[in-house]
């Protein structure tokens, strides 16, 4: 199958916000405990309990932000339980995720230290479901106020004299479900109240993110835009929120049987890829609604939960959502980034669910061992798109397909540097691509490929490099035409330089 991609390398385009490459860490399974955080005397290299091998791995992919403490956990989390001497912190039952005991040893100070070590921005989800306005307001004051108050005295007592820098703040999570089972109108009214008391202290300006819809709940988006954003005359713009979240998970079957991560059959593969493409339609329709209320595109669309969701691995706690991660998951990640780039005029942040040991994770840990998943390598190979300019790509295909099996992005990071990402989503057929590169003369190309022979190839603690990037040179460049062949189920990046 052949396809021609026409790219104007000097064309204007929309900036790809680096926060599209964000991450999500919830008190769920082994994401925090055993993932990010261990006991200080565990023998695993750490700083105040924070795993340094994990920090090093995430810094290599230039992680821009980290969302915490959830997820569903956020709306049963009371932040004062997670400050002060660890031995004095109250224990609680994690009712959402496995019914295990949460000892609150990882709390606000530990999370903010983790973000400092990662050199990333924190994104905190406030408790609107079971918390109070006062509780949320005081948490922001504790974090960001630089002055004299009960909260700043408490912060100093707990070892932090000055405030932290905090921009991203979630006003509740999944309020249509685990965050309170609210109607859209009821949530909108609550969000107005809570957001009013989420104050900016000093030079710290919050970017407040409302709980948006689940997948294709377009009425929820209408209600929020009408009640939290729309302002025909006489009132300040963005007076309540600056962003609205969206959650969409890619599952093969249904919620009772989502399919296994290591399934080999091609019909399972095809089904999952088709479900992943639904995200493009969902984004387009939500953007259309947002544009009708906010034509200047002031409000960001924040996809703070996305990724594949399979059945848990056999023998693991079903409440821990631990699943393996194959080349298919990696390709679904690459597709999502292409869609986010395409809609970068409205998509300002995205957070894969989740970073470690949960759902479509980038990292798996087992005691002192750590393995990088195929999805991690997509983040690493794609990091050159962060803050680059997304360029329009025009495709000419010779054949009809049951579903689109080619996904691609091209971005410009400087006057003489571009990054092209191309995914062959077919489980069986190679793709022959001709790229018509216009507007610049390419003189140097460095290619990399993520590929495997097996459809369920994955990395584990015995074979941690089964799926990892390799050099790619199966291309020819003649004048402005670049021809290349992509193996079935593969992802490539091309660093282009003039």
Using CA atoms, how far residue 345 sits from 9, 33, 207, 271, 333, in Å, is 19, 37, 17, 29, 20
Give the neighbor-by-neighbor strand order of the sheet with 389-390.
14-15, 389-390, 406-414, 417-424, 490-497, 444-451, 470-472
260: its two tokens: 């296994």
Which position has the token pair 């302002």? 231
Helix (H, G, I), strand (E, B) or coil at 372: strand
- Is the CA virtual torsion 90, 93, 94, 98 positive or negative? positive
Which position has the token pair 């298919």? 328
Catalytic-labelled residue, pool 26, 102, 305, 380 = 305
229: its two tokens: 């954003």
Nearest alpha-carbon partner for 458 in 251, 276, 308? 308
Taking the C-alpha atoms of residue 9 and residue 436, their distance in angstroms, rounded to an integer, is 10
Quick check: 300 and 286 in contact, CB under 8 A?
no
C-alpha 16, offset from chain centre: 14
Taking the C-alpha atoms of residue 493 and residue 434, their distance in angstroms, rounded to an integer, is 15
Quick check: 128 and 190 in contact, CB under 8 A?
yes
Contacts of 261 (CB under 8 A, 6+ apart): 308, 310, 311, 313, 323, 324, 325, 326, 329, 456, 458
Taking the C-alpha atoms of residue 322 and residue 311, their distance in angstroms, rounded to an integer, is 8
Q: How many CB atoms lie within 10 A of CB 410?
A: 28
Instruction: Assess whether 305 carries a catalytic annotation.
Output: yes
Catalytic-labelled residue, pool 174, 265, 401, 485 = 174
Contacts 24+ apart (CB under 8 A), 312-315: 313/261
Catalytically active residues are 174, 305
């Amino acid at each position: 199958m052949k396809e021609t991609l026409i790219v104007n390398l000097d064309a204007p385009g929309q900036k790809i916000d680096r926060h599209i490459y964000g991450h999500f860490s919830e008190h769920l399974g082994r994401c925090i405990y055993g993932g990010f955080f261990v006991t200080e005397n565990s023998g695993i290299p750490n700083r105040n309990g924070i795993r340094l091998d994990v920090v090093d791995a995430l810094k290599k992919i230039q992680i821009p932000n980290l969302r915490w403490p959830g997820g569903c956990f956020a709306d049963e989390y009371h932040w004062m339980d997670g400050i002060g001497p660890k031995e004095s912190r109250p224990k609680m039952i994690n009712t959402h995720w496995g019914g295990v005991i949460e000892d609150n040893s990882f709390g606000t100070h530990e999370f903010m230290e983790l973000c400092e070590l990662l050199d990333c921005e924190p994104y905190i989800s406030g408790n609107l479901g079971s918390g109070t306005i006062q509780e949320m307001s005081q948490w922001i004051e504790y974090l960001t106020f630089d002055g004299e108050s009960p909260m700043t005295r408490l912060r100093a007592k707990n070892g932090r004299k000055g405030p932290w820098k905090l921009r991203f703040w979630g006003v509740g999570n999944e309020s249509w479900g685990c965050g309170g089972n609210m109607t859209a109108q009821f949530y909108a009214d609550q969000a107005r109240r809570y957001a009013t008391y989420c104050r900016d202290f000093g030079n710290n300006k919050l970017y407040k993110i409302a709980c948006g819809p689940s997948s294709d709940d377009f009425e929820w988006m209408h209600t929020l835009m009408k009640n939290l954003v729309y302002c025909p005359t006489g009132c300040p713009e963005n007076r309540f929120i600056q962003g609205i979240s969206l959650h969409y998970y890619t599952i093969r079957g249904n919620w009772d049987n989502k399919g296994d991560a290591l399934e080999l059959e091609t019909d399972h593969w095809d089904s999952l890829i088709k479900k992943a493409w639904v995200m493009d339609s969902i984004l387009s329709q939500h953007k259309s609604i947002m544009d009708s209320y906010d034509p200047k595109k002031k409000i960001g669309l924040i996809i703070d939960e996305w990724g594949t969701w399979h059945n848990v691995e056999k023998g693991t706690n079903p409440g821990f959502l631990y699943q393996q991660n194959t080349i298919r998951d990696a390709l679904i990640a690459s597709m999502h980034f292409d869609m986010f780039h395409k809609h970068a005029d409205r998509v300002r942040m995205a957070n894969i669910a989740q970073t470690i040991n949960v759902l479509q994770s980038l990292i798996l840990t087992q005691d002192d061992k750590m393995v990088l998943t195929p999805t991690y390598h997509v983040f690493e190979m794609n990091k050159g798109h962060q803050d680059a300019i997304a360029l329009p790509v025009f495709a000419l295909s010779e054949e009809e397909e049951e579903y689109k099996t080619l996904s691609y992005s091209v971005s410009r990071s400087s006057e003489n540097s571009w990054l092209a990402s191309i995914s062959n989503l077919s489980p069986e057929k190679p793709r022959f691509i001709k790229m018509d590169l216009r507007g610049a003369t390419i003189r140097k190309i460095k290619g990399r490929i993520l590929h495997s022979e097996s459809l369920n190839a994955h990395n584990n603690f015995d074979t941690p490099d089964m799926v990892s990037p390799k050099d790619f040179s199966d291309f020819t460049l003649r004048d402005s035409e670049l021809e290349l062949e992509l193996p079935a189920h593969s992802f490539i990046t091309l660093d282009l330089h003039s």
